[in-house]
Amino acid sequence: MTDILIVEDDKELSSLLTDFLRAEGYTVSAVENGERAVELFERYGTRLVVLDINLPDMNGFAVCSKLRENADTPILIVSARTDKEDKLNGLDLGADDYIEKPYDIDILLAKIKGIFKRRYQRSMLSASGVTLNLANKTAEIDGNPVQLSAKEFDLLALLIENQGKALKKEYLFSTVWGSDSDSELQTLHVHINRLRQKLGDDPKNAKRLLTVWGVGYKFV
């Protein structure tokens, strides 16, 4: 999984921003159109999307809406469209922030760092009686310590981070196991079943880790 996915059809601007972000230590991928952005996001995942609106195929609003269907990944819109209606539309669709072009690169970097600090430097995740300590990779369920494998921990953390949202099987697999993994999708099913056992969930009447038929899984 990359840290940042840039969706920008201005090649010069995209290249410049990519260089700045890599100099700050982020792993970055860049694409020039919305369809490719959605494809990469669903296949590999990312921790942040920097999204232009005026794209050559589907516009940034459509991309934002599509990404929000199955994930709560932060989205930062960067656009030359400065109308109030455009800003409100972007935020209503689920964008975390909206920055006008031309922008000060230092301001953009500060906003990106702020998003990463708020979202990914938390030491604890807690929901529905499950507590994950992200620093030492330990877990408690209903107050009792539970041993999770590394992949079980990462999978459960991803689901809790997106609590209430149905995540596609392919997205879960590629995010936790990686795009170059030799494992098969069946590995995901095995780990889901193991997590359910440790959560005390009956697969036929799950209370916390639910199957969303035709889509994947969600934590509630």
**What's the CATH fold of domain 124-219?**
Arc Repressor Mutant, subunit A (1.10.10)
Q: What is the pTM of this model?
A: 0.69
Kindly tell me if the per-residue pLDDT of 6 is higher than 80: yes
192 band by pLDDT with thresholds 50, 70 and 90: very high
Map residue 145 onto helix, strand or coil.
strand
In whole angstroms, give the CA distance from residue 142 to residue 199.
9
Question: Domain 2-120 classified CATH 3.40.50.2300?
Answer: yes
Pick from 188, 194, 95: nearest CA to 141: 194
In single-letter form, the type of residue at position 118 comes to R
Question: Tens digits of per-residue pLDDT, 102-140?
Answer: 999 999 999 999 998 888 777 788 899 999 988 788 999
Average pLDDT, whole number, for the chain? Answer: 90
Instruction: Fill in the DSSP letter of residue 58.
Output: S
- State percent of the chain over pLDDT 90: 65
Q: Is the pLDDT of residue 183 over 70?
A: no
Task: Report the distance separating Cα 157 and Cα 131, nearest Å.
Answer: 9
User: Is the pLDDT assigned to residue 49 strictly greater than 70?
Assistant: yes
Per-residue confidence band for 35, with pLDDT thresholds at 50, 70 and 90: very high
Give residue limits of the domains in the chain: 2-120, 124-219
Interval 148-160 mean pLDDT: 92
**Is residue 32 within 8 Å of residue 77, measured between CB atoms?**
no
Give tens-digit pLDDT for 194-208: 999 999 988 778 889
| Contacts for 36 with CB less than 8 Å, ≥ 6 apart | none
Q: What is the rounded distance in angstroms from the CA atom of residue 192 to the CA atom of residue 154? A: 12
